[in-house]
Amino acid sequence: MSVTEQPAPAPGPEPGGDEAAERLRDRISADSLTTRRDYLRIVATVSGGLAAGGVGVAAGILHRHGDSESLPRARKVTDALAPGESVAFRFPGDEDRALAVRLSDGTLVGYSAVCTHLACAVLWREDRGADGELYCPCHEGVFDARTGEVTAGPPPRPLPRIFLTEQPDGSVWAIATARSGEPAREALCRQLGDSHPGMTRQLGCPGADRAAANQRGRT
Residue 161's pLDDT is 95
More confident residue, 192 or 26: 192
The whole-model pTM stands at 0.66
Residue 215 has pLDDT above 90, yes or no: no
Task: Report d(CA 12, CA 16) in Å as an integer.
Answer: 12
Whole-Å CA distances, 44 to 40, 50, 72: 6, 10, 37
Q: How confident is the model at residue 84 (pLDDT cuts 50, 70, 90)?
A: very high
